[in-house]
Amino acid sequence: MKLYHGSKNKLDTVERRQAGNPKNLDVPEKELLNAIYLTPNYGFALACAARPNGLTRMDSKNMTIEFGSPELFDPEEDVYVYEFDIENIPKEKVIYVDDLQYAVDADELRVSNKFSHKAKDVQEYYEIKELKENPEEIRQEFKMR
């Protein structure tokens, strides 16, 4: 099975990061690990790479994405999706988070394949909608630094 990681950075390896929750939102513990987060969903990885800093709401059922700071979204920004083969990762290091996320308890993973995109390519997978709620009240799926 292929897993993906989205990033704004051009990388050869993906390193462990401590997930954060600076707004103290209701986030499951498994989404706050010091790990490398991967997804089996290419579009979700691209959305994680393309979104601007700040809160983001991604609705994978309805395939919509809302940015808390839409003025920071740059459709021409270069973003990257990295591919990994789960068979090359020791099973005991892989933590199932939910249908869209796996956490890998490793210091780094070497990228097996790289895909380059413009941030606007996220629209091939998600409809970008205007955020109608107060961004402070949104439960984030991920927090970008």
Task: Tell me what percent of the residues of the chain surpass a pLDDT of 70.
Answer: 80
Can you tell me whether residue 30 is helix, strand or coil?
A: helix
Confidence of residue 89 (pLDDT cuts 50, 70, 90): very high
Q: How far apart are CA 61 and CA 34, in angstroms?
A: 27
65's CB contacts (< 8 A; 6+ apart) are: 47, 51, 56, 57, 58, 59, 122, 126, 127, 128, 129
Does residue 79 have a pLDDT over 60? Answer: yes
Q: Answer whether 123's CB lies under 8 Å from 43's CB.
A: no
Q: What is the pLDDT of residue 83?
A: 98
Instruction: Tell whether pTM > 0.95.
Output: no
The angle at the Cα of 23, spanning 17 to 25, to the nearest 5 degrees, equals: 90
Interval 24-72: pLDDT, tens? 555 556 566 789 999 999 999 999 999 998 888 888 889 999 998 899 9
